Structure 1
Amino acid sequence: MPSPVEGPDNVVDTMVIGAGQAGLATSYWLSRAGVEHLLLEQRPELGGAWQDRWDSFYLNTPNFAFLLPGQTYDGPEPDAFLHRDAVIELFRDYADRIAAPVQLGTEVTRVARADSAADLAGAKGGFAVQTSQGEWLARNAVLANGAYQRPRIPASAAKLPRHIRQLHSHDYRNPAQLPDGAVLVVGTGQSGGQITEDLLAAGRQVHLSMSACPEAPRRYRGQDTFYWLLQVNLHGPGYGINGLQREQLPSPAARFLCNPLISGNDGGHSIHLRELGRRGVRLHGHFEGTDDGALVFSDDLPERLALVESAFGQRMKPMLDTYIAAAGIDAPAAEAATADGWLPAESGARLNLDAEGVTSVIWATGYGLDFSFLEIPVLDAWNYPRHTRGVTEVPGLYTVGLPWLTRHASSTVALVGADAEYVAGHIAAR
C-alpha cells in the first residue's frame, strides 16, 4: 500500500477527500503534474463504494469501459463483465501501480477556510481539514467522496412493524441475511432489479414496488448499449449531438435521475418488469406510505409499466440512431420492439405484510450526496457543489466524480479520468 505524504505540521499542497475511482484518477493526474497531494479514505481498505455491493454483483458496464487514467482493459473478454471482487482488486492494484499517497481509516469531519492567522501561519493554502486522525492544512481541496454516501430511506419506513427486517440495498449482501418469508423490494433502479433477481434465484417470493427508472436493451444495433452511450458522451458534440452534456439537462434535478434497468450478471442482460411478473414477482406501483397497517402504492401499474418501457424509444434510441448516422457507422438495423401487454391479475395498490408473509423490506431507493463536513457555502439547493467543470466558485476547492459533473457518464469508471485531468491541470496551474 502506498505511504501517505508527510509534511511539516500536517501541511500538504492538495488534499483529496476520498480514494475511490474519482480520488485515484485525480491522484494519477496530480502525480503526473508534480503536485504534492494526499488522499484521505474513511474506509479501512481501498475499493470504494464497490465494497458496498451484494455478493452476486457484477459491474453493469462491460470490461472495455474500464478506462482509468493510464490503465485500460486488455484482457481476452472485452465484452464480459467483472464480478464485484475483481473490481475491488483492480482498484487496489491500480492504487499500488500509480503509487497513490493514501491514508486509510481517516474520516473527514470538517473542511473550512483556513482564514485565521494561526491557520495560515506556515500553510500553503486556504483550507483546514479536520479528520478522525488529526488536522491538516491544504492549499487546495478536492471533493472526491462520490455520490453513494447517504442511503435514502422514506420516513414512513419507521411506521413498519418492528418484526419486519429492513435493509437498504447499501447493506444487502445475500438472501441468507433475511429471515424466512417473502421479501418486498422498493425501487426498480439497477439495484432493485438486480436484487430482485438475486432473491428469485434463491427461491424467495418477492414483491416489487416500481419507480420510474427506464428499461433498456442490454445490446442495441450490434453493440452493448453502453458502448453507444460512451461514444455519444465522447464524440457526440463533434456531430452536434449534445443530449448527454450537462448543459443540456432540462433542470438541475435531472442530475439525479436513475440509470437504465440492466444487469452485468450472467454475461449481461436486460431486466424487464413484466417478465419478472411472469416469473412470479408480485408487482406494485410506487410506494406511497402506510395506512391502517397496510402499505399503500400508487394505483397506476399499467401506466407505469408503459412509461418505463417507452422511455428508451422516446429519448435514448433517437439520440443513438442520430449519432450512428452522423458518424457514418455501419451498424445493423435496430430490432423492432416486441409488444407485451401482460399485466398482473391484481393492481397491487395495497399490501398487508403479515397476510402475504412478508418478513423483510429492502429499500433500493438510492442515495443522497453527503457534504455534511463542508463548512463552506458552495452547495446548491440539491446539495450539489456549484462549479464549472469541477472548479467551484471558491478558489482552491474542486469536485470530481459526481453524476453529470460535465456529462452523463462523468461518475463512471470510463470517464471520471477526463474530469480528473482537467481539475488536476487547474490545480497545477495555480
Structure 2
Amino acid sequence: MKEQVVLVARRDPAQQEERFTSSLQELKSLTETAGGEVCKVMIQKRERIHPATYIGEGKLSEIKEEIDESEAEIVVYNDELSPGQLRNISDRLERRVIDRSQLILDIFASRARTKEGKLQVELAQLQYLLPRLAGQGTELSRLGGGIGTRGPGETKLESDRRHIQRRIDDIKRRLQTVVKQRNQYRKRREDNYAFQIAIVGYTNAGKSTFFNKVTDSDSFEEDLLFATLDPLTRQVSLPSGFKALISDTVGFIQDLPTTLIAAFRSTLEEVTEADFIIHMVDASHPDHEEQEKTVGKLLRDLQADHLPTLTVYNKKDLLRDDFIPSTFPSLSVSVHDRIDIKRILDKVEEVLKEEWYEYSLFIPASQGKRLQQFKSGSIVTTIKFHEDREGYALHGYIHPEHPLKNKILQ
C-alpha cells in the first residue's frame, strides 16, 4: 500500500501557466518516484509567500479538512520551506510535512549506489536538516519510515547539533579523499589522452537507455526521475574506429535545491571535464523547451556551455505532430532504434570533423603500432595501402591538442 500524499502549491499570478503546470507535474512524478501516491492537489493563487505558514490561514484549514477526510499521511509542498514555516505547518496539520527539496534528497538517498554517492547524499541531507532541528521533536516522533525519512535516520537526527556538525565535518573530510582519488584517476585519463563525451539532459530524457545501447552496459534504467545518480563512464567506439570515453550523468531538474547543486558538483564534474556534450531532450514532453533552457542554464553555471554539443531530440516515436528543433546541430531519434543510435554516433563524428584539425599522412607498414594509434586516436576517413611505397596513406581529423598531432607535423 503506497503512502497517500497531498500536494500543496502556491501559484504566483505573475508566473506563466505552463511553467507552473510543469513544476506541479514534476512534483507529482517526484512523489511517485519516492513511492507515494498523490490523492489530492491543493493550489492557492497568492502574490506573496506567508512568512509564517507559506500559504494563507484559510487555505491551511482547508488542507487540514482534506487530509483528515482522505486520511493522507504526508503533505508535500512545491517549494522550499523555511524552518519556521515547516514547524508551524506541521503543528497545524498534525501530519508529516516535507518540501520539494526534502523530497528530492529522499529520492537521491534511495538511488545512491557508490560510497561517494551515499556520502554526498548524507552531507546534503544533514546540511538541509541542521537549521531545521529546532522544534522537530513532534515531527521526529512521527517518523515511522517512508517518504522523507530515508538516509541519516531517526537516531542521528534526534541527537544534538554538535553531533550533526561533527558528522558533516567527517563526511567532508572523507569526500576530500574521494575527490583526490578521482583527480588521480582523471589525471591518468588525461596522460593517456582519452576523449570524453558526457551525456546530459533533463531527468528521464533517455540518457541511460542511450548509454546502455552504445556501451552494452546495464546501468540502472527505469521510467523514473533520477534513475542514474552516480556518474558512470565506459569506452565507446565511434563508426570510424575512434575510441572515446562516454559518461552518463545525473538528470537535471527545475529548481534543484542549492544544497544538492553543491553536493553533486562531482556528479556534474564529468560534464566540465568533457570534450563533447550530447544533450538528450525528451521531445515528447509538453514542456521540453523549458527543460532544454534549464539544462542550458546549468551548463552555463558549470562553465561548460562553450563545449561542442549535439542536441538529440529523443522519443520521436511518441510525437503526434511535426517536430521543429530549436537548436542546431541536432537530430530527432528514438534511442530504442539501432539505426538511430548509429545516426547519433555518425553525427558526433560529423560535428567533430568541423572542429578538428584535418590531416593527410603516410605511415610505413613496419610502424603497425603508430597506425593503430591513429586509428583509435583520431577519426580516419580514408586509409589506402600503397604496395610500391609499402605503407598506408591516411586522411582524417584529429583533436588540435592531441599529442599525436605533433607526429603529423614532424
Calculate the TM-score normalised by the size of structure 1: 0.28
Higher relative contact order (CA 8 A, sep 6+): 1
Pair member with larger Rg: 2
Which has the larger share of helix? 2
